[in-house]
Chain A
Amino acid sequence: MRIGIPRALLYYNYYPLWHSFFEELGHQVVTSSITSKAVLDSGVMSCVDDACLPIKLFHGHVVNLIGKVDAIFIPRLVSICPEEYICPKFIGLPEMIKSSIKGLSDLIVLNYNAHRNLKDAHRAYIELGKMIGAKPSQAVRALQKAAASQQVYDSLLKEGQTPLDMLNGHQGAREGEGKGVIGLIGHPYLLYDEFISMGLISKLRARGYAVLVPENIAQPQIEMACAELPKKLFWSYGKKLLGSGLTMLKDRRVDGVIFLSSFGCGIDAFIVELLQRYNHRLYQIPSALITVDEHSGQAGFNTRLEAFIDMIEWRDGREGYISAHGASLFGH
Chain B
Amino acid sequence: MNTKKVFLGVDVGSVSINVVAIDQGNNVLGKIYVRTEGKPIQILKKAMEDMASMLPVGVEIRGVGTTGSGRELAAVVVSADVVKNEITAHGIAALTFVPDARTILEIGGQDSKIIILRDGVVSDFAMNTVCAAGTGSFLDRQAARLNIPIEKFGELALKSKSPVRIAGRCAVFAESDMIHKQQMGCSCEDIIRGLCEALVRNYLNNVGKGKEILPRVVFQGGVAANVGIRKAFEEALGYEITVPEHYDVMGALGAAILAKDYVSKGHKTKFRGFEEILKKEFTSRSFECNGCANYCEIVELIAGDSVAARWGGRCGKWTRTNQTAEKRSAVM
Chain A residues with CB under 8 Å of chain B are: 33, 36-39, 195, 199, 263, 273, 276-277, 280, 286-289, 291, 293, 296, 298-300, 302-304, 306-308, 310-311, 314-315, 317, 321-329, 331-332
A-B contact pairs, 20 of them (CB 8 A): A38-B295, A195-B294, A195-B314, A199-B314, A263-B130, A280-B210, A291-B129, A298-B314, A304-B87, A308-B125, A310-B122, A311-B121, A311-B123, A311-B124, A314-B121, A315-B122, A322-B88, A325-B332, A327-B84, A332-B316
Knowing that A291-B129, A304-B87 are A-B contacts, what are 15 other residue pairs whose CB atoms are under 8 Å apart, sorted by A's residue number?
A39-B293, A280-B210, A289-B126, A291-B130, A298-B314, A311-B88, A311-B122, A322-B92, A324-B84, A324-B332, A327-B72, A328-B72, A328-B329, A332-B72, A332-B310
Contact at B123–A303, with CB atoms within 8 Å? no
Bound CA–CA A332/B300 (angstroms): 11
Q: How would residues 258 to 301 of chain B score, 1 for a CB under 8 Å from any chain A CB and 0 otherwise? A: 10011000000000000000000000000000001111110000
Q: How far is the CB of B107 from chain A (nearest CB, A)?
A: 16
Bound CA–CA A33/B294 (angstroms): 12
Bound CA–CA A314/B125 (angstroms): 13
A321-B261 in contact given A37-B293, A39-B293, A289-B126 (Cβ < 8 Å): yes
Q: What 5 pairs across the A-B complex have the smallest Cβ distances?
A: A332-B311, A36-B293, A307-B87, A38-B293, A291-B129
Contact at A310–B329, with CB atoms within 8 Å? no
Q: Which of A276, A298, A299 has the most CB of B within 10 A?
A: A299
Q: Which of A293, A308, A314 has the most CB of B within 10 A?
A: A314
Does B325 interact with chain A (Cβ within 8 Å)?
yes
When distances are taken between beta carbons in the complex, the residues of chain A under 8 Å from B325 are: 328, 332
Does B42 interact with chain A (Cβ within 8 Å)?
no
Does B189 interact with chain A (Cβ within 8 Å)?
no
Q: How far is the CB of B172 from chain A (nearest CB, A)?
A: 16
Contact at A37–B328, with CB atoms within 8 Å? no
Contact at A332–B130, with CB atoms within 8 Å? no
When distances are taken between beta carbons in the complex, the residues of chain B under 8 Å from A308 are: 125
Bound CA–CA A307/B83 (angstroms): 12
Chain B residues with CB under 8 Å of chain A are: 69, 71-72, 81-88, 92, 111, 121-127, 129-130, 210, 212, 258, 261-262, 292-297, 310-314, 316, 318-319, 325, 328-329, 331-332
When distances are taken between beta carbons in the complex, the residues of chain A under 8 Å from B258 are: 322, 324
Bound CA–CA A199/B84 (angstroms): 20
When distances are taken between beta carbons in the complex, the residues of chain A under 8 Å from B294 are: 36-38, 195
Contact at B329–A286, with CB atoms within 8 Å? no
When distances are taken between beta carbons in the complex, the residues of chain A under 8 Å from B314 are: 195, 199, 298
Bound CA–CA A37/B294 (angstroms): 4
A303-B262 in contact given A39-B293, A311-B122 (Cβ < 8 Å): no
When distances are taken between beta carbons in the complex, the residues of chain A under 8 Å from B262 are: 324
Closest to A199 in B: B314
Closest to A198 in B: B314
Bound CA–CA A315/B121 (angstroms): 6
When distances are taken between beta carbons in the complex, the residues of chain B under 8 Å from A199 are: 314
Closest to B124 in A: A286
When distances are taken between beta carbons in the complex, the residues of chain A under 8 Å from B212 are: 280
Bound CA–CA A291/B312 (angstroms): 20
Q: DSSP class of B's interface residues: helix, strand, loop or mixed? A: mixed
Q: How far is the CB of A39 from chain B (nearest CB, A)?
A: 7
Q: How far is the CB of A46 from chain B (nearest CB, A)?
A: 16
When distances are taken between beta carbons in the complex, the residues of chain B under 8 Å from A276 are: 210
Bound CA–CA A329/B125 (angstroms): 22
Bound CA–CA A325/B124 (angstroms): 21
Contact at A310–B292, with CB atoms within 8 Å? no
Bound CA–CA A106/B151 (angstroms): 63
Q: How far is the CB of B212 from chain A (nearest CB, A)?
A: 8
When distances are taken between beta carbons in the complex, the residues of chain A under 8 Å from B129 are: 263, 289, 291
When distances are taken between beta carbons in the complex, the residues of chain A under 8 Å from B72 are: 327-328, 332
Bound CA–CA A321/B83 (angstroms): 15
Contact at B125–A277, with CB atoms within 8 Å? no
A311-B332 in contact given A38-B295, A277-B210, A326-B83 (Cβ < 8 Å): no
Closest to B331 in A: A325
A325-B82 in contact given A286-B123, A307-B88 (Cβ < 8 Å): yes
When distances are taken between beta carbons in the complex, the residues of chain A under 8 Å from B84 are: 322, 324, 326-327
Bound CA–CA A327/B12 (angstroms): 15
When distances are taken between beta carbons in the complex, the residues of chain B under 8 Å from A273 are: 210
When distances are taken between beta carbons in the complex, the residues of chain A under 8 Å from B71 are: 327
When distances are taken between beta carbons in the complex, the residues of chain A under 8 Å from B312 are: 332
When distances are taken between beta carbons in the complex, the residues of chain A under 8 Å from B329 are: 325, 328-329
When distances are taken between beta carbons in the complex, the residues of chain A under 8 Å from B332 are: 323-325, 328-329
Contact at B130–A328, with CB atoms within 8 Å? no
Bound CA–CA A104/B111 (angstroms): 43
Closest to A287 in B: B124
When distances are taken between beta carbons in the complex, the residues of chain A under 8 Å from B130 are: 263, 291, 293
Closest to B83 in A: A327
When distances are taken between beta carbons in the complex, the residues of chain B under 8 Å from A315 are: 121-123
When distances are taken between beta carbons in the complex, the residues of chain B under 8 Å from A298 are: 314
When distances are taken between beta carbons in the complex, the residues of chain A under 8 Å from B81 are: 324
Closest to B328 in A: A328
Bound CA–CA A273/B292 (angstroms): 38
Closest to B89 in A: A307
Contact at B293–A303, with CB atoms within 8 Å? no
Q: How far is the CB of B221 from chain A (nearest CB, A)?
A: 15
Bound CA–CA A273/B258 (angstroms): 34
When distances are taken between beta carbons in the complex, the residues of chain B under 8 Å from A322 are: 84, 88, 92, 258
When distances are taken between beta carbons in the complex, the residues of chain B under 8 Å from A286 are: 123-124
A324-B293 in contact given A280-B210, A311-B125 (Cβ < 8 Å): no
Bound CA–CA A239/B295 (angstroms): 37
A310-B83 in contact given A36-B292, A321-B261, A323-B332 (Cβ < 8 Å): no
